[in-house]
Amino acid sequence: MPGRGRVASLGRMNPDGHDRAPAIDAALVRRLVRAQFPQWAGLPVRPVADDGWDNRTFHLGDTMTVRLPSAEGYAAQVDKEHTWLPRLAPHLPLPIPVPLARGVPAEGYPFPWSVREWIDGEAASAGRIGDPAVFATDLAAFLTALRRVDPAGGPPAGRHNFFRGGPPATYDAETREAIDALKDRIPAGTATEIWEAALDAGWQGSPVWFHGDVATGNLLVRDGRLAAVIDFGTSGVGDPACDVAIAWKLPTAESRRAFREALAVDPAMWARGRGWALWKALITVRRDGEGTGDDDRARFSAEWRTLQTILTEYERRCPRDG
């Protein structure tokens, strides 16, 4: 396990700007599809309504999507998902993406890319979730099933998934730097105590499958219910505490309790999951103002709310009660 402060800062949510792909737009996608999968060349291409940062996604006709990594740091995830998603899908209670074809670099685009089946649904948000407690228990059931899949041969924590599944200590230096940078905006002592509790709550279990980025944008809802889970780019086998971080993005304290109970999260895993959530919120809020687009502002606002939830909840109860 890395010691505190001994690992270089690896926690950037996105690779450095120099390795980002050139402009990814519908015209590029049409050229790639036409050249490599001519059977689909006549289908219309249009951006999806809720796009991500790690990848750019486009509708291909009405039943497929094209997904292109936005930077070199995400490119290895294409092969990983093509290998493992078909193996995971039969064991899970909800749909996950089904890879249909793998594209290769061309047309000035430098990374592998993929064609997948389209899964209908909208990104989860408080206004789209019917019963938050039901949503939370449905999500816990999905993650429980994922953990039960045979982990043999699965990818361990590493650069392919930004060390999800490993110890939070990987990001110790970055987290402490963010706490110090934000000390005029947050209770730095409380944040440090939460972080150190995560570092102290060591994991002794056997490796299991985890998703790695259980975020509202990767949870699809239909008719108020959880309908699918997407984006397994940071998945792997190891400590599943990183998946617990979603708890502090759930709409209510009741749904957070329902999630914890249904997933049978013990105090140590709860502390590590809270640490993962704290790290992500801190490094996002620290960069507030660097991005000027609507997506940037929405991301910063969401992580600020998460940070406030973590800090307020912790301060309202005995810090050592788990």
pLDDT at 272 (0 to 100): 98
Q: What is the residue whose two structure tokens read 């948000």?
A: 125
What is the per-residue DSSP string for 98-134? Answer: -EEEEE-SBTTB-S-EEEEE----EE--TTT-S-HHH
Per-residue pLDDT of the chain (322 residues; tens, 9 = 90+): 333 333 333 333 444 343 666 789 999 999 999 999 999 999 999 999 877 778 999 999 999 999 999 999 999 999 999 999 999 999 999 999 999 999 999 999 999 999 999 999 999 999 999 999 999 999 999 999 999 999 999 999 999 999 999 999 999 999 999 999 999 999 999 999 999 999 999 999 999 999 999 999 999 999 999 999 999 999 999 999 999 999 999 999 999 999 999 999 999 999 999 999 999 999 999 987 555 455 667 788 999 999 999 999 999 875 544 4
User: What type of residue sits at position 251?
Assistant: P
Q: What is the residue whose two structure tokens read 């497929």?
A: 64
pLDDT at 49 (0 to 100): 84
pLDDT at 18 (0 to 100): 38
pLDDT at 10 (0 to 100): 35
65 vs 29, 194, 272, CA distance in Å? 10, 40, 35
User: What type of residue sits at position 321?
Assistant: D
pLDDT at 53 (0 to 100): 76
Q: Is the pTM of this model over 0.75?
A: yes
pLDDT at 150 (0 to 100): 98
| Cα separation, 200 vs 190, whole angstroms | 15
Q: Judge whether 132 and 252 are in contact, CB under 8 Å.
A: yes
Domains of the chain, first to last: 17-117 (3.30.200.20), 122-315 (3.90.1200.10)
Q: What is the residue whose two structure tokens read 């045979």?
A: 150
E runs forming strands in the chain: 45-47, 55-60, 64-69, 99-103, 113-117, 122-123, 208-210, 219-222, 225-229, 236-238
Spatial CB neighbours of 215, under 8 Å, sequence gap ≥ 6: 246, 249
